[in-house]
Structure 1
Amino acid sequence: MTISVADTALDIEKKAIDHCTRRNRLYNCLIWVYCGMFLMSFVSFYVFWYTDTFSNLVFSQMKLQNDTRSFNLWQHPPVKLEYRVRIFNYTNVREFETGMASKLRVQELGPYVYRETKDRVNVVMHENGTVTFQEKTSYVWADGSSENDVVVVPNVPMMFIVAFVRDSSFAIRFLTNTVLSTLRERTFINVTAGGFLWGFDNSLFHMVKPFLMFKRDISFDKFGLLVTKSGVNKNYITMNTGSQDLHNLGMIERVNGINNRKIWGDEKCDRIMGSDGSMFPPYLIKNTSEPLYMYSHELCRNLPLHFAEQVITHGIPSLRYKLTPNAFNLSDTQNKCFCPKVNGLRVCPPAGLFDVSACNDGVPLLSSFPHFYGADKSLLEQIDGLNPRQEDHESYIDLHPRIAVPMAGWSRMQINLKVRKAIGVPFLGNLKDGTILPLIWIEVGVDKVPEFILDIFQTAYFTVTNVEMALQWGSLIVMMLSLSALVTYLWKYHVQQAEAEILQKNRPFK
């Protein structure tokens, strides 16, 4: 059988066209595959680089929901805070009372170290994404100076009574003077350190307690500066769980059902806002130029924390926020509403002092940083023996850079008594009216945390960061490779189409 030249040419041409067609189909298929890969990688690139999707997924594990690990850790915190208390012992009382010394002198004793255990009890979850609870705390002596140390301190119960009757009628002041004379009360007393802090028998307190209970509930039988801290706190706190909005996670919304304490007579200062210090909304630390706020029940106000620097905590870069002395500078316009009103006018204490009398049934107590750090210099001139130092007396907190949970930090606060003399009640001796007497200062914080908590911190930083980087750079690499492959095969497809057209034009037989 003879095969003609024309038949051979047609066969070759047919095979060539079939080959081109198959290659075109292959290129067309590959183009669609790489186009799909590019689109998917581009979406992933955008999501992981320009949105909070990955962070939201991580933060969602922090929501306070029943039967979750985060909820159990919140309800029963495994980290036991260290509670270090230092007492100001007055060493020259006799010389001062006899006129041989013009100023009182103090000696700092301690620290008396206690271990705090905290649980959140009477927990009620609400459908609007909040939870209401009470705090139950207990303290156990753990280290430091002995609670049996005998200290010389101001007679706080008597000074409270004198301050209360200061503006009362002559008859009330005369009766008070009679009672104090009968009980032989003195301006300064000797008491054990443990008794001064957690409660000691005091005849004056037992006598006036029934009258005080008309004004407030007093559940303790002994007088002590810290006696109200143990047990179940009377306040019901309502906090955001983050289940509906992670931007509000851990923020206190109400205390005892209200969001305005109506103590300071100003809507801004009375508004309840801020965290309880156990956690902060992670989104807030993205902009370190903005302060964080903590709400203090003892002070009935929020406290601003300002970013200071980045430090290393437990081997992890952390964000250090500090409570600056300006927080207690009430002459500042934004703080002036915290000054108590006297006869309708706001009267501010010296800079560095915060008057908590309006928040504590009128007792003449003031808060400050230890040793009047950052306060008006006149306060140091009233008492000898004070030595303020920034490194020892400032307050700070180190936050995890991703989940905004405290990893370390120390809150340092001093309790002071303001002398308020009353006419006809001569029991405050040579003390001048308005003198500020330091009583104790408290340092609350943590240096050591359990190993499994450290593992959580490290996982939340190193592991999560590595995974996020892998997703970010992986999406970028896949996007670039798929784009390169897409462009390559588009070019090859274009070349193949051109070859097919040339072949079609040059067909020897039509």
Structure 2
Amino acid sequence: MQIIDDQESHEILGNDETVKEHLTNCNNSQTRSLSRKSSLNVSRNSSKENVVQKQHLVTTVFELTGIQEKEGSKEFGTLILLGVMLLLFIISITGFFIMWFTEYYNDTMLSQIILKNDSESTKNWMNPNPKYDTLLKVHIFNYTNIDKYFAGIDDKIKVEDIGPLTYKEHTTKVNVSFNNNYTVTFRDHRTYQFLPEKSNCEEREIFVLPNVPLISASTKIEKINIFKKIMAIKIINAYDEGAFKTLTAHEFLWGYRDRIVSLDIGTGSSHFGLLMNRNGTSVDSLQINTGEDDIRKFSIITQFNGQPLLDFWADQKCNRVDGSDASMFPPHILNTREDLQVFLQVLCRKIPLSFEKEVTILNNIDAFRYRTPLNVFSSPENNPENECYCHNTQVCLPSGVINATKCYNGAPIFPSFPHFFSGDPKIYKDFDGIMPSRELHQTYADIHPRFAFPISGASRIQINIAVHKGSILKNKLDRIKEGTILPLIWIEITSGDFTDEIIENLYISTFGLNAIQYALKYGTLFACIISFALIVGGFYNLTQKRRQHALSKT
């Protein structure tokens, strides 16, 4: 047994080369196997790294939202995230569409100015804070050489523009009634406070001025029956009043007792003052659209003294009252740059305001500047639109004035722009001291681009009286020609002082609301992009996990 075992051992040991070769082959096989496994592992690791990198954003969101990548909750967490992102995307895309392609934001802001019964905006409209009061600036034409002119010493009448006399004008709404057709009826109630620190003369200063009641009576008296006419002429001649008289500024503007006015030739009062009817509650009522049914109709006048049309002018077009009262305008019309229509009670007619340019005022506040066109008071030859304002189409007035006699109960009042700006020079060829200026005498308004209220500007108009000599004045105005237009005063209505509080409110209504709008516009855009990217990433993450799960089972 021992011999046999040794032999077998020798035979086995004798095959040492075979064993070595066998071991070498085994080692090589194991090496190749390990190499293949290593390559496979490297490939898998590389793939995992790519997946990890691609899942990094989603994983970060998981961590931030508290959805941990635990086994068994991965797919559920991804689905939750996808649901949240999908909801965010729907909300953001809806907001994006609203902010970029509709006027919803702007309309929401504008809804705050709609006049509703008992609303905050209505309360502010009816009783505005005195800090928003306007200024009334009055310039009076003083006739400095009228005696020398009538004596033939001077060839022209010299007038001196003295002013302004500045008043703080506070306006409230009274007799307010909301109607069922989305309109509101009211009257203006104005009070005035003289501001000597903003004036260039005193109210007690004395002026030589046309005798307006006498000149008016000379025109009115021609239209009454013969018996009343004879009686009135005798009484007026007995008063022996001249065509010009001396008055203080306060008397001429706010009223004095006058004997001719007391005769009640169409006036019904014993006092006369050019601005007397502005003080207190207006005799005229207005009805305007509240904007509740359509913001595009906001502030448009629908009735004047209970009537949708006037009866002063030649046809319906000129008798229309559908303009604004100049304190506010329909906001949407600013986007089209169309003319703004303003109904002026002092003229009993509408006048347009035309867009001029965009301006920057009050420390970089944007506004739209509108001006009155130069042809507003032009004759029909130069502006055919004015033909219906000409009472006698055969002999119309020269450019620059309008015959508002019917508007003033028969008094020959002929308004114009100050110093007859844009008018025919022949109107004032007999005067010295008339110096028209665009900067000083043209009406303009700087309108808020969103809410369409005037931020600043100047509404300017001049009151003149036309001479009709008739039976009363034929011996009192020898050198003054029939039809001569005598300037009386011109007024300018401007915004008051801009306090820090007012400027701050303007900044909020301009920059604050704009900033919110831009934040919402670009915020919704950014939210759309981010939520969409997260949805794509979430779907990719979910797909990869399911693929890995399927591979792990095989």
Give the TM-score taking structure 2 as reference length: 0.80
Answer whether contact 2:314 2:390 (CA < 8 A) is retained: no
User: Cα deviations across residues 267-320 of structure 1 (Å, max 9, x unaligned)?
Assistant: 1111111111222122121222x0111111221111211112222333321122
Answer whether contact 2:468 2:482 (CA < 8 A) is retained: yes
Closer, same or farther: CA 488–330 of 1 in aligned 2, 3 Å: farther
Answer whether contact 1:166 1:421 (CA < 8 A) is retained: no
Verify: 1:479 aligned to 2:528, yes or no: yes
The whole-number CA distance in structure 2 between the counterparts of 1:489 and 1:89 is: 85
The whole-number CA distance in structure 2 between the counterparts of 1:313 and 1:339 is: 39
Q: How far apart are 1:457 and its partner, in Å? A: 2.1
Answer whether contact 1:291 1:306 (CA < 8 A) is retained: yes
The whole-number CA distance in structure 1 between the counterparts of 2:224 and 2:394 is: 21
Closer, same or farther: CA 20–333 of 1 in aligned 2, 3 Å: farther
The whole-number CA distance in structure 1 between the counterparts of 2:372 and 2:405 is: 21
Which of 288, 291, 295 is residue 239 of structure 1 equivalent to? 288
Q: 1:80 matched to which residue of 2?
A: 133
- Give the counterpart letter for 1:273 in structure 2: D
The whole-number CA distance in structure 1 between the counterparts of 2:106 and 2:152 is: 67
Q: Which has the higher strand share?
A: 1
Matched position secondary structure for 2:195: strand
Q: 1:324 matched to which residue of 2?
A: 373
Q: Structure 1 vs Structure 2: percent identity of aligned residues? A: 31
Structure 2 unaligned spans of 5+: 1-69
Which of 95, 102, 107 is residue 56 of structure 1 equivalent to? 107
Larger radius of gyration: 2
Which stretch of structure 1 is more off in the superposition, 238-247 or 435-444?
Answer: 238-247
Matched position secondary structure for 2:385: helix
Q: 1:133 matched to which residue of 2?
A: 186
Closer, same or farther: CA 45–177 of 1 in aligned 2, 3 Å: same
Q: 1:6 matched to which residue of 2?
A: none
- Give the counterpart letter for 1:107 in structure 2: E
Which of 427, 440, 464 is residue 476 of structure 2 equivalent to? 427
Q: 2:456 matched to which residue of 1?
A: 408
List aligned pairs for 1:209-358, cutoff 5 A.
Answer: 209=264, 211-212=265-266, 218=268, 220-288=269-337, 290-315=338-363, 316-331=365-380, 332-340=383-391, 342=392, 345=393, 347-358=395-406
- Give the counterpart letter for 2:307 in structure 1: I
The whole-number CA distance in structure 2 between the counterparts of 1:319 and 1:447 is: 19
Matched position secondary structure for 2:185: strand
Q: 2:36 matched to which residue of 1?
A: none
Q: Which one has more relative contact order, counting CA pairs under 8 Å at least 6 apart? A: 1
Give the aligned length.
476
Matched position secondary structure for 1:354: coil
Which stretch of structure 1 is more off in the superposition, 272-281 or 177-186?
Answer: 177-186
Q: 1:378 matched to which residue of 2?
A: 426
User: Cα deviations across residues 205-247 of structure 1 (Å, max 9, x unaligned)?
Assistant: 22x21x425xxxx3x4311111111111112211222222222
The whole-number CA distance in structure 2 between the counterparts of 1:352 and 1:497 is: 86
The whole-number CA distance in structure 2 between the counterparts of 1:147 and 1:429 is: 32
Q: 1:116 matched to which residue of 2?
A: 169
Q: Which has the higher helix share?
A: 2
Matched position secondary structure for 1:33: helix
Answer whether contact 2:259 2:270 (CA < 8 A) is retained: no
Give RMSD over aligned pairs: 2.4
The whole-number CA distance in structure 2 between the counterparts of 1:186 and 1:138 is: 33
Matched position secondary structure for 2:375: helix
The whole-number CA distance in structure 1 between the counterparts of 2:169 and 2:496 is: 14
The whole-number CA distance in structure 2 between the counterparts of 1:170 and 1:72 is: 53
- Give the counterpart letter for 1:459 in structure 2: I
Q: 2:51 matched to which residue of 1?
A: none
- Give the counterpart letter for 2:234 in structure 1: T
Q: How far apart are 1:106 and its partner, in Å? A: 0.6
Q: How far apart are 1:44 and its partner, in Å? A: 0.5
